[in-house]
Amino acid sequence: MKDPWNPINEELREWAFDADALWPTQDFDLAVGELYLSEIILELASDDSCPKQRFFVRCAYLIVGDAVRTDYKTESKDDVEVFLEKAEKTGNTFLLKFVEHSKDLIQKPSKFDYDQWCDGGLANAQFKS
């Protein structure tokens, strides 16, 4: 990956399907968890054959959690709602649960928990056997 802090879709796709590849840099989820990458995040988070599906679900949670945590200073509420609509349209089980959690958080921001939303807690819980 040329610049892990500014990845492009092709690099993310290649990394996502290499089951043995480690995170290219510490806090890589912070680099990827941005709405400008929403299309590729949703593509890979909804692909059950993607070895790094969990990572991309985690990035989706990070986007919404950070937006709510900052009272929509990082991303507008409208943009977050559009992101959730797109996630819901995938029909993917993990993303449908993410949308459910996100709508609940938007209605009750006091329920925000950093570890759950921004450090992978909710995403990881979905992938437990």
**What is the DSSP secondary-structure string of 15-83?**
HHT-TTPPPSSTTHHHHH-SGGGHHHHHHHHT-TT-TTHHHHHHHHHHHHHHHHHTTSSSS-HHHHHHH
What is this structure's pTM?
A: 0.94
Determine the pLDDT at residue 80.
98
pLDDT tens sequence across 39-69: 999 999 999 999 999 999 999 999 999 999 9
Banded pLDDT at 129 (limits 50, 70, 90): low
As a whole-number percent, the residues of the chain with pLDDT over 90 amount to 97
128, pLDDT greater than 90: no
Average pLDDT, the chain: 96
